[in-house]
Chains A and B, each alone.
Chain A
């Protein structure tokens, strides 16, 4: 049963590996559609919490998928998820670098890179919207989401400051009885 879950995690994540255009975050809306919507492995709130915890860590954004695996099946799940999400894209990168070593900066490559930017932007925004909707936890949360979005868009400071401020604000709000949770 457990091995079966690990295999399923690996196959699901391997299936979305090549959909991550312009960065790992682009595959998150699809991951949420499958993990929360189709498979019911996590609730929308758990999915959003896991994303938030992953933001506190250094390193590439793709490790959020590793944390989904950890949450679903411990250390084995973490390994299955990491190998799944990175396997196909790494093999493609490996093959592409070997075959295109002498192609350099081809024109079509620059165009493809440019073409993926709007899609990466739209999918990043979709990810934020779906996380907020998935957590669906009321007025205070919406206010924090809007304020954090404004902070990240307008300030050059690290987004971690917004998360820290929001965490402190929520503790204060909870202690003063503003959060009914």
Chain B
């Protein structure tokens, strides 16, 4: 495995991952590039999800390091981010250029309201996807109230809720 292959593989992942990197990362890493088999991928992704930070970025760091060492980790991460960041700068520049046009203002107003709904809808969808458990609902509600309504600092919320949630996850 060369650094070039790492970069190109993660570049493809980043460029194609519209609306979330989850499904496409498995498709590229397991099926397209055959870097890992299904079990290895699931195990590595599990570690990424337990650690803080963007899951796919953590995955790029770990795979890059496994195949090509520390520079491999940096190369994989750069490959993953190159296309999305270029796309983002292009779109943001367009909005800046045309932000005085009434239609563009209105479109951004609508898209912004929808994006807030997108986050709420994703939270609902995540809740529906896992087996119903009153503790999950209670802990999610506590995180919501602490963060959205009480506006508590996140370190405080996590210091209380991560250990609490861990205890309940261990009992089930």
Which chain A residues have a beta carbon within 8 Å of chain B's beta carbons? 16-27, 29-30, 33, 37, 45, 48-63, 66-67, 70-71, 75, 78, 82, 86, 88-90, 92-94, 96-98, 100, 104-105, 109-132, 135, 137, 140-142, 144-153, 158-160, 162-171, 173-175, 179, 181
Task: Kindly state the separation between the CA atoms of A122 and B113 in the bound complex, as whole angstroms.
Answer: 19
Ordered by A's residue number, 30 sampled pairs between the chains whose C-beta atoms are within 8 Å are A17-B52, A19-B52, A21-B158, A45-B112, A53-B108, A60-B56, A62-B54, A66-B88, A78-B89, A93-B57, A96-B47, A96-B51, A105-B43, A112-B169, A113-B50, A116-B49, A118-B138, A125-B124, A131-B112, A135-B112, A137-B113, A140-B113, A142-B113, A144-B110, A144-B113, A149-B124, A159-B122, A170-B109, A171-B107, A174-B103
B126 A124 Cβ-Cβ under 8 A: yes
SS class, residues of chain B in contact with chain A: helix
SS class, residues of chain A in contact with chain B: helix
Task: Kindly state the separation between the CA atoms of A118 and B137 in the bound complex, as whole angstroms.
Answer: 7
Q: Is B70 an interface residue (CB 8 A)?
A: yes
Which chain B residues have a beta carbon within 8 Å of chain A's beta carbons? 14-21, 43-44, 46-58, 61-62, 65-66, 70, 73, 77, 80-81, 83-85, 87-89, 91-92, 95, 102-103, 105-128, 130, 135-144, 147-148, 151, 153-155, 158, 161-162, 165-166, 168-170, 172
